[in-house]
Amino acid sequence: MPSLRRTRQPQPVIAGVGSAETDVGDADVRRRLYADPGLPDRVFRAVLRSGGGLVLAVMLLVGGFLLYRAWLALDRAGWSFLTTAAWEPGSGKFGIAAVIVGTILIATVAVLVAVPLATGAALYISEYASPRLRRTLISVVDLMAAVPSVVYGLWGVFFLQDKVLPVARWISTYLGWIPVLDVQGADPGDPLAPESIYTSSTFIAGLVVGMMIAPIICSIMREVFSQAPAGEREGAYALGATRWGVIRSVVLPFGRGGMIGGTMLGLGRALGETIAVFMIISVTFQVQWHILQSGTSSVSSLIALRYGEAGEFSMSALMAAGFSLFVMTLIVNFAASSIVARSRSGATSDA
Amino acid sequence: MTVAPEAPGARQATGRPGTTLPARGADPAGERRRALTRLHATDVYAMVGAATAALSMTWLLFRRLLPFNGAVGFVVIAYGLFLLVYALLVSFDEDGPAIVDRIAAAVVRSMGLLLVVILAFVVVYALVQGRKALVHLNFFTQSMELAGPLQPLGVGGALHAAAGTLIMITIALLITVPAGLVCAVFLNEVPGAYARFVRTIVEAMTALPSVVAGLFIYATVILGLGLDQSGLAAGLALSVMMLPIIIRAADVVIRLVPGTLREASYAMGTSRWRTVWHVVLPTCRSGLTTAVILGTARGIGETSPVLLTAGFTNELNLNPLHDPMVSLPLVTFEFVKSPEPNMISHGFGTAALLMALVLLLFVAARILGGRGPGHLTRRQEHRRVLASRRDARRFAERRRTADLVTIPAESESESESESESGSSS
């Protein structure tokens, strides 16, 4: 092999300078790499481009229109939009402090419930289950992600709520010294005290939303776990690791990015969830930190509750609330996808 | 001549550090065959024993010793005790890491079980509670026009909601399937900065909460253009919600088409659009079907966009342009708000119907899809084989006629027939 040097692109302008390769002759001109694709192809590309452009236009229109309509209310309210708890756009007193706090608390409870459940289930599917069982379980989890939220809501209202009340009561009695878990007006000494102060709470809504997002998180985590390199697994086994040792030293570190990303995608869904939350909570417009106490609120249930009675300005205020929710989920989603993309596993997700 | 470490010869250490060689002439009969099964009898004994002990102890605590009650508490305490007792039992014949391994396995298995149990429970609960309404045949043939809240279950049904759901989802699919597929093909076939930008925006829009999609259509179409609350508006809201989902799923599927197939097609001189139409799309047809069906399942179950845009009615309305129209999730939501038990039963009935619809779509997606690009069913393969035989016969026929007409044209006709066989396979 005489030379590994890349052959230089012949440049006719400086012919004669340089090595022997370049002065092969004047005939050696740079080839045009552009080939005319013909009319059908040009039409085809134009159609594709315009299709992409159409989708782009619709998507930008949604975001732009939301901001444009929200501007009226945002301009009037200024920074107090972020700090006011009440929602009375008619009298100019409105803000998202209460609904944002409620949304974030519900989503937090949901993530705290869903992540251990989803991690365990994903590990079981990818590491423990036999191949046949694995295929079944994957379909089951995918199906669970497709169950309509109204069905989860029904289950939460008519079944879960009654079962959870004693637990909520127990937690508030014995762990009530933690400020978040306190329930105001509860009397732990009275066994016959009505349990209605524990109903419709952030906790129950968070549990139901957690059940909803667990399969989404689970399927992303499973995907990432199953991509853990076989060589490293076998290496760990060869060093005498138990199965749990392999999981802890190979699978979990490999899948960390996917775990964080999947969790954040689930968080995005939890923030935007409407109907299941709306069916369970009773909406109040005060900042409610006590997650076990009845009455909370979320941005999406605010919109579902108030859209009908809205005039021009109230509509704008609702748009502002919707826009703030959209910005929140957008940030969470982008953070999630960039974390997933940067992680070693680099899994793609289709949630 | 490798000897397993268990062979007795290998155990005789030479005393100084270094490579341990198996002693020559060791008796190979001493090798024991290792049991490769993962499940030993002692594991089963420990598992069963721990479960029994935990249940008995919890029963004792709840019934005799402590003032506890409640099913949830019982399960939690029993589970905790089970883990403790199991760890204790395992520790009798294993050591440190093995105990941790067993406990971790037990926890992970129970998490997987819990998730599946919850799903089964949610689905079965809706179906079981819905049976009261579903056994009445009028549930499928009547609307709620004549049924007040106090009427028995023998009057009224969910026909209007089922029809509304089908009309809305049809409108949404008519918009999203062409737009979504064209956009997904665009993202893959015309790469560049523009496509990257579109992809970023589409990914951002998957974060759009569905209630905001509903609010957008409510503000533009209903308040802005002055349309009624109608099926069309609901269909549009569903499309805004479903479009990014379908584009992303289809994008992922099309990206999986092997580049070699495309290049083979281009090498045959096929134009781009023929490549897309005859190679790319047929290759990923099953994946695309799955993407669309799963998007449909999401759209069918979505309540909040419909809540804002469709209005509410108890009558059957088949015209999507005028007057309110309801969908299955929306009537479920409205029915269960009522305090009357019969209305709640109706609500569970519609939820069960909706659940059945989603299950049906899901099973359809599993049957049609779930195959990688290029994997065929037996019947498809059979059809391919027949088609290629037909082609071969046709080419042979052509060559013969070409031979008869002029002899020098042979090479040209051969190359032509080859390019055709390439593009048709």
Q: What is the number of structural domains in chain B?
A: 3
**Nearest C-alpha of chain A: how many angstroms from B386?**
31
Instruction: Specify if A53 maps to a domain.
Output: no
Instruction: Specify if A46 maps to a domain.
Output: no
B67 at the A interface (CB within 8 A)?
Answer: no
Instruction: Specify if B385 maps to a domain.
Output: yes
B335 at the A interface (CB within 8 A)?
Answer: no
Asked if A55 lies within 8 A of B247 by C-beta distance, the reply is: yes
Here the CATH number for the domain that contains residue B213 is 1.10.3720.10
More confident residue, A200 or A156: A156
pLDDT at position A3, please? 43
Instruction: Specify if A72 maps to a domain.
Output: no
Distance of CA A322 to the CA centre of its chain: 16
Residue A84 amino acid letter: T
Instruction: Specify if B53 maps to a domain.
Output: yes
Asked if B73 lies within 8 A of A119 by C-beta distance, the reply is: no
Mapped to the 3 state alphabet, what secondary structure does A154-185 carry?
HHHHHHHHHHHHHHHHHHHHHCCCCHHHCCCC
Best mutation site among B223, B304, B368 for testing chain A: the one with the most A CBs within 10 Å? B304
A68 at the B interface (CB within 8 A)?
Answer: no
Q: What is the number of structural domains in chain A?
A: 1
Asked if A137 lies within 8 A of B112 by C-beta distance, the reply is: yes
Show the domain range for B59. Answer: 41-123
ipTM of the complex: 0.79
Q: Does B221 share its domain with B254?
A: yes
Q: Does B56 share its domain with B166?
A: no
Q: Does B256 share its domain with B333?
A: yes
pLDDT at position B76, please? 84
B362: chain A residues, CB-CB within 8 Å: 139, 142-143, 146
B256 at the A interface (CB within 8 A)?
Answer: no
pLDDT at position A112, please? 92
Instruction: Specify if A140 maps to a domain.
Output: yes
pLDDT digits (tens, 9 = 90+) for B99-143: 888 888 889 989 889 888 888 888 888 888 888 878 877 777 777
Q: Does B357 share its domain with B405?
A: no
Residue A243 has pLDDT above 60, yes or no: yes
Show the domain range for A281. Answer: 87-342
**Nearest C-alpha of chain A: how many angstroms from B94?**
12
Strand partners, A201: A294
Comparing CB atoms, the residue among B116, B186, B298 nearest residue A140 is B116
More confident residue, A283 or B420: A283
Q: Does B113 share its domain with B227?
A: no
More confident residue, B64 or A19: B64
Instruction: Specify if A30 maps to a domain.
Output: no
Q: Does B216 share its domain with B362?
A: yes
A73 at the B interface (CB within 8 A)?
Answer: no
Burial class (CB in 10 A: 0-12, 13-18, 19+), B161: buried
B355: chain A residues, CB-CB within 8 Å: 147-148, 151
Residue A331 has pLDDT above 80, yes or no: yes
Q: Does B195 share its domain with B300?
A: yes
**Nearest C-alpha of chain B: how many angstroms from A14?**
33
Asked if A275 lies within 8 A of B198 by C-beta distance, the reply is: no
Here the CATH number for the domain that contains residue A175 is 1.10.3720.10
Asked if B300 lies within 8 A of A148 by C-beta distance, the reply is: yes
**Which pLDDT band, with edges at 50, 70 and 90, does A347 fall under?**
very low
Give the range with max mean pLDDT: A6-20, A223-237, B359-373.
A223-237
Q: Does B74 share its domain with B116?
A: yes
Of B123, B149, B173, the residue that ends a domain is B123
Q: Does B349 share its domain with B383?
A: no
Burial class (CB in 10 A: 0-12, 13-18, 19+), B227: middle
More confident residue, A46 or A31: A46
Report the range of poorest mean pLDDT among A133-137, A219-223, B36-40, B113-117: B36-40
**Nearest C-alpha of chain A: how many angstroms from B228?**
13
B194: chain A residues, CB-CB within 8 Å: 49, 52
Report the range of poorest mean pLDDT among A173-182, A268-277, A332-341: A173-182
Q: Does B66 share its domain with B117?
A: yes
Rounded Cα–Cα distance for residues A127 and A233 (Å): 11
Q: Does B364 share its domain with B250?
A: yes
A133 at the B interface (CB within 8 A)?
Answer: no
B240 at the A interface (CB within 8 A)?
Answer: yes
Asked if B129 lies within 8 A of A158 by C-beta distance, the reply is: yes
Which positions of chain B have pLDDT values less than 70? 1-17, 22-31, 35-38, 67-69, 147-150, 369-375, 405-425
A198 at the B interface (CB within 8 A)?
Answer: no
Mean pLDDT of chain A: 80
**Nearest C-alpha of chain A: how many angstroms from B391?**
26
Report the range of poorest mean pLDDT among A144-148, A253-257, A287-291: A287-291
pLDDT digits (tens, 9 = 90+) for A85-114: 788 877 778 888 888 888 899 999 999 999
Determine the average pLDDT of the residues in A232-253. 89
Instruction: Specify if B128 maps to a domain.
Output: no
Q: Does B198 share its domain with B277?
A: yes
